[in-house]
Structure 1
């Protein structure tokens, strides 16, 4: 497992747990954190033993947004040599790395579950939109504050938010720049569950275990199809659903799932 000084990587059974670990800065996104996230998503994609991912933050915070100074220092072509700084070298080698890390230009094939405590604002809310399932502690705070500073939320929010929550709520969040409580975020559909403070990670891990118990080929195909059909007409989407879904019925895992149901035992899926 990888990780950096600002991103902790752990295993909890078949779940990869990525923890934003810069609590003194309310887990503002830094170069080491972005590199760690990028590598964490890659590890989950490449390791078939990983069936789900939980993303959380250390020290009672999720993420307070981008450390703009750190990101500016990472961009190639700024006149400063990257040699000797492993993180700047990574950014120089892949100028798209930060967008992949933020899940703007990358979608992990495994389900990503966010466990949010405390602030999840600006870049934190943008990162959140790249996750699939979301749990928040009661004191969590959300919001896209960029317009308050004359900035633009280029992490994907003007495209994704209107597709994830009703347009009027998305535009209110984008245009007012005001904070949202966890309960309000739940009401508008930005998060799925609100739990007592300090228990978001526990709930996320419980949800991950439910995901992990299912057929991995089926889970990954369902996630991919749900996203890939989003921009299609209903007829196009239904056609793609058959294209993606029907082959699953011919897998050994599908046969095992049916057999286990008949025999009243937990299935043993082998990704085959």
Structure 2
């Protein structure tokens, strides 16, 4: 009984420590974010007009949501396009981050410099900077469409599959640009792995490849889930995301306005929540 009591006490203590770390975010959310979210949900059921005298609303029920799916074909098209991009980009970003973390976790010279180089894009990828880089073509590989690989992809695959793959190759630098934080998370996990486990595996005759699949990857699975969630949220809220841009454009559109903009924002929010739930379920099942 005493051991159970101590274990419960330790569990409660860890829970309190975790709550203390996230409490600033929780407090900030309730003070600054909860009320605007509720108000935006209210506006999504309204026809909103901004006048010199203030905001005037007229209740329209589900009309804004119906318009998004039935009348506004651009929104549905952009959502489907974004989901295809996410299905390709997110696994590649996480896989690339894991590979780079494994490489720079080795005992090599100038390891700190390499870590800085891979994290540097995170510091400079603000909206205006990325926008300028995109306009100058820095994030694309020059003349990549002239490579024979593109023709092979076009001829051997259907357009529904080939177009996302071609987009991925065109934007490969942009995709890899989002890997800095994920690399650091994987590095933190790798540095906490007990090296005696690798020594025991080596004594038992396990190859480095077997040690990765049987030791490294299972121990990093919680961080894989964290990185998947972080990558999806980061890409989904990126300032130049085409759906985010569409929401901003509709805010000041005289035809649609704030009401429709908040409606598609909530549709987008629910969609991303569903995607996160699916990925979490898949990765937790894989972990178990």
Query: What TM-score do the two structures reach when normalised by structure 1?
Result: 0.25
Q: Which has the higher helix share?
A: 2
Larger gyration radius, structure 1 or structure 2: 2
Give the alignment's TM-score, normalised by structure 2: 0.24
**Relative contact order, higher structure (CA 8 A, sep 6+):** 2
Higher percent of residues as strand: 1
